[in-house]
A and B are shown apart, each in its own frame.
Chain A
Amino acid sequence: MSEIIGVARPRVDAPDKVTGATQFAADGYVHGLLHARPVLATEAHARIRGVEKQEALAVPGVVAVLVASDLPVATAGTDRTSEPLAREEVVFAGQPVALVVAETEAAAEDGAELVVVDYESLAAVVDVEAAMEVGAPLARSVEEADDEAGDLESIHAGVDHGQEDDPGEELSGNVLDRITRERGDLAAAFASSDAVVEGTFRTPWVYQAYLEPQVCTAWLEPSGTLVVSTSTQGAFVTRREIARAFDLPLERVRVIAEPLGGAFGGKFALIEPLAVGPALALKRPVRLVLTRGEDFQSTNPASAQVTHMKVGARKDGTFTAIEARMIVDRGSNAGWGVEGTTSALAPGPYRWEAHDIRGYGVQTNRFTFGAYRAPGAPTAAYALESLLDELAEQLDLDPIEMRLRNAFVEGDIGMGGNPFPPFGAVDVLERLRDHPLWSKRDSLPSDEGVGMAAGFWPGGLEPAAAVCRVDSDGTMTVVTTAADMSGVNTGFAAIAAAAFGLAPDDVRVVTADTSFGPYSGGSGGSKVTYTVGAAVLRAAEAAREKVLAAAAQELEIAPDDLEVVDGVVRAKGAPDRSVTVKEIAQKALRFGGRYEPVEGHGGSAQTSSAPSIAAHLSHVRVDRETGEVELLHHVIAQDVGRALNPALVEGQMRGGAAQGMGWALYEELAHDEDGRLLTGSFLDYAIPTAERVPEIETLIVEVPAPDGPFGAKGIGEAPVVGAPAAVANAVAAAIGKRLYELPMTPPRVWKALRS
């Protein structure tokens, strides 16, 4: 077992991916396929007076021009599933208003150009703080009609919403949600502090920028089953949403989760209705592949946020009080926002004597907000970790030592009121403290700086099931329905191989669709390896019991005296008395066979989550004349529980850190004052390139999760959380000035240097 778990094996899907054999969702051939092209709203807030279809319909090859009333949607809500095309009111520029469906993509695009929408402009709400004031125009005139907006929040992180409304604060109808989290005596705690610092931190809307634009194909089978082939993180979530919106029984909707070309939270039941609706209306297969420009405008990026935060500490470095007011720009998402998670994570992985954190989810006439890798966490960490550095400076304490003093350890009570499970905060901070880059931070050239920050993610929970089936050639097929976003299939293969007793090359993993696959929740929330992996482990163990029972009969040895190693069932201590797994399988899988098929089903329903923490060191050089920040080196230390496959774990750590660098320096979805997107392509929206991302050193820390398979945790989100803050702290160290707004573009750094 030790040669399987912890080995950096290549990904199981790598050979297909490097040869171009992998069929992504836009790649499959479908007979009779029609192509859809959306017409997107050009106004941020408007009433639709009419849609002119005639010219578009006259284009050869155009089959239909559909508006909201043409789609057989049964629910009345304003979520993107119930209202895939705007009915009467447009609430963000980029919102789909019509669909042109044609025999070819070119004809669909020719047609879409000719659709004319008549808008009556309404006041566009684009300033999130102004939107909160009583008397502000409302971003949405129509009342939210449907409470059944689907439970999309909990697939990312089940966090409670703290206490109810604080009636003391009068706010406009744009404030859809208020969260209050209070504990302890805030005033007393601040009063007892030797240093108190505060600041207002702004982060913009940020785009997940998965390389594969969103895509979905839908068609009706002759039996009446609706098949939805989609690039999605959550097959069952998608099935539920489609069934709900189009009033279909669950068993009539079959969702196939195709290989994901990146998602990072943005592909959860969003665009499927735009393919399903036309497919049902026209009774023909329809594919919608968003262009990158459409994906920029009309999908679901991460919310902009304004965080006012104040923190205190005593001179020995003990954290005393934290107060925060976090305003989340939900855009046009009435269903949920990150005010819950960002307020829960504001205090970070630290103990405080008192806290008073308020979160506000505010609607504006901007995108439907969506989840992006640790939603709400990087923005909270940017504020907190920046202020912690200021505290350390005022108190003349080492920033890492100060954090070590307060870092959560196992047993500490977290925000949810539950004791923390084993947690590697101290471990990762110590690894950074002992890193040579940290020790030389004060002796660098004057334009360079090193900063650090930590960030954690609580880890999600969701019951899951899996099947492990041994085939007649003695190899194993693992079946789950978990979309492989982060390489989890490779982890499942290792888990199953180790738990059963096969060589990993003899285990393949298949992702089944919703019609017959064992349940799993969406791939997100840093829980797939933890929960589905645990189900795979149990399934493999269940299959192992079957093969042992059969081998016991063959060899006439009690099952307890047998072991399975590399596909051979043998007597412990007497390995020559053996039978291969293949032989057992062949005796089972045939007419008149004498043993049950060697298959196992496993389930999991952990109740304790497995939080993962990552701490970063960022080394930067600032060009004071131009304001450009060059990333010289990055170190990330993360507690992963158990690295089932160190190469895959490092890949997640580096990928998350790199995305954090993008948050810190380059990425911003900007609107003009009328709410139209200004940065709607990669010409304006900069994701980090190979030249701009430095070498990223990875330090893997293992603090086993008690309920994780072989101690592994879900680790996909923690690596991004503290990265922007680490870069911000590095820039502050380099130039002696702090920036309170991300991204720290050259003009902004230049301006800070001259203010």
Chain B
Amino acid sequence: MIAAATRYQRASDVDHALELLGEPDAKAIAGGQSLIPVMKLRIARPSVVVDISRLELCGVEEREGALHIGPLTTWAELAATDPPAGLDAIPECAREIGDVQVRNLGTIGGSIVHADPASDMPAVLLALGASLEIRSTDGSRDVALADVFLGPFTTALGGQELVTDVVVPLPAPGSGSAYASVEHPASGFALVGAAALVGPAGETVALTGVAATPFVLDGDPQNAIAAAEIFGDRFASEEYRRDLASVVAERALASARERSDA
């Protein structure tokens, strides 16, 4: 219930944050809604908590053919956003994450770097072909989100790196997107979540909650689900989740198709 002893530092800007994150076992904290729970369980034991929550990395802006979402944008802010055409899945998903209190503090960036294999928004971002702008002391790099998730709670980010932008390309005109999920009744995390993007170029579906990381389905969704490596547990077996994935993917597609011009 009480975290292991740690120090607290507040970053004044991104460079300062990167400097502070140079200490071994330093951890950045934004909204804290992912980090603090694991600190309380003493699974995470940072030497210093680097508070980046007051940096100017929030806000949602459309420019250069993409929606740029500041990593410190809270779920509440995202849920209240009027999205550009075809990006309905973003506020739709944000509205259902956690609860009111979590949404008031939890950030999109914090969730991405926490990389819980059952979190919802990564599926949406994957289906939408999002990428991240990542800053380190060496400069900036852009990484496709699909290359960021390496495993449960593991990302391609180094210890001294920060996400500075979440970039979602604007879909082609006439596109529609949607998110559907079945939740675990206790945790609220996705037993299976599916995000779909439907447009003139085709249909993309991404799943979360069923594997080591969220992932995009290759080719026909139903075939891909039948072949995918899906895990099960005591509550929900592999057989059940596979079938559920099929159902939820279909529901997300149906909703996305309805929103598109297809």
Contact = CB atoms under 8 A, between A and B. Distances in A.
A contacting B, Cβ–Cβ less than 8 Å: yes
Interface of A: 105-106, 109-110, 113, 291-293, 625-628, 665-666, 670, 678-679, 682-686, 692, 745-747, 750-751
Nearest to B5: A110
Contacts of B240: 627, 746-747, 750-751
Contacts of B237: 747
6 contacts: A291-B1, A626-B247, A684-B186, A686-B184, A745-B185, A746-B240
Contacts of B184: 686
A298 to B, nearest CB: 14
Contact of B186 (A109, A291, A292, A666): A666
A2 B126 CA distance: 67
Nearest to B4: A110
A496 to B, nearest CB: 41
A726 B247 CA distance: 29
A106 B1 CA distance: 9
Contact of B247 (A113, A625, A684): A625
Contact of A666 (B4, B185, B234): B185
A150 B243 CA distance: 52
B186 A682 contact: yes
B182 A105 contact: no
Nearest to B236: A747
A683 B236 contact: no
B42 A626 contact: no
Nearest to A292: B1
A747 B182 contact: no
A685 B2 CA distance: 21
Interface of B is mostly: loop
Contacts of B235: 684, 745, 747
Given A109-B2, A110-B4, A747-B237, A692 B244 contact: no
B187 interface: yes
A620 B39 CA distance: 40
Interface in B193-213: none
Given A105-B2, A751-B240, A746 B42 contact: no
B182 A746 contact: yes
A625 B237 CA distance: 15
Contacts of A745: 185, 235
B244 A683 contact: no
Interface string B5-36: 10000000000000000000000000000000
A567 B236 CA distance: 64
Contacts of B191: 746
A113 B236 CA distance: 32
Contacts of B243: 750
Nearest to A668: B235
Q: Which of A670, A682, A686 has the most CB of B within 10 A?
A: A686
A106 B2 contact: yes
A482 B237 CA distance: 47
A685 B236 contact: no
Given A678-B234, A750-B243, A751-B240, A685 B4 contact: no
B244 A626 contact: yes
The 6 closest A-B pairs by CB, nearest first: A686-B186, A686-B185, A291-B1, A683-B187, A625-B247, A747-B240
Contacts of A628: 182
A109 B2 CA distance: 7
Given A291-B1, A626-B244, A678-B234, A113 B42 contact: yes
A84 to B, nearest CB: 21
Nearest to A747: B240
B234 A683 contact: no
B101 to A, nearest CB: 13
Given A628-B182, A746-B182, A750-B240, A670 B187 contact: no
A627 B247 CA distance: 11
Nearest to A750: B240
A365 B5 CA distance: 35
A281 B4 CA distance: 28
A277 B2 CA distance: 24
Contacts of A692: 185
Contacts of B247: 625-626
Contacts of B2: 105-106, 109
Contacts of A685: 186
B114 to A, nearest CB: 15
A110 B5 CA distance: 9
A666 B188 CA distance: 13
Contacts of A751: 240
Contacts of B236: 746-747
Nearest to A688: B185
Given A113-B42, A670-B234, A683 B186 contact: yes
A670 B235 CA distance: 10
B249 to A, nearest CB: 12
Nearest to A743: B185
A679 B234 CA distance: 10
A577 to B, nearest CB: 61
Nearest to B191: A746
A61 to B, nearest CB: 11
A678 to B, nearest CB: 6
A449 B230 CA distance: 33
Interface string B225-259: 00000000011110010011001100000000000
Nearest to A685: B186
A685 B42 CA distance: 20
A7 B106 CA distance: 45
Contacts of A627: 240
Contacts of A291: 1
A321 B234 CA distance: 38
Contacts of B234: 670, 678
A493 B2 CA distance: 42
A670 B233 CA distance: 12
A684 B184 CA distance: 8
A746 B244 CA distance: 10
Contacts of B4: 110
Contacts of A683: 186-187
Nearest to A754: B243
A684 B236 CA distance: 12
A34 to B, nearest CB: 16
A291 B234 CA distance: 25
B54 to A, nearest CB: 26
Nearest to A625: B247
Nearest to B184: A686
Nearest to B99: A689
A259 to B, nearest CB: 22
B210 to A, nearest CB: 14
A106 B187 CA distance: 26
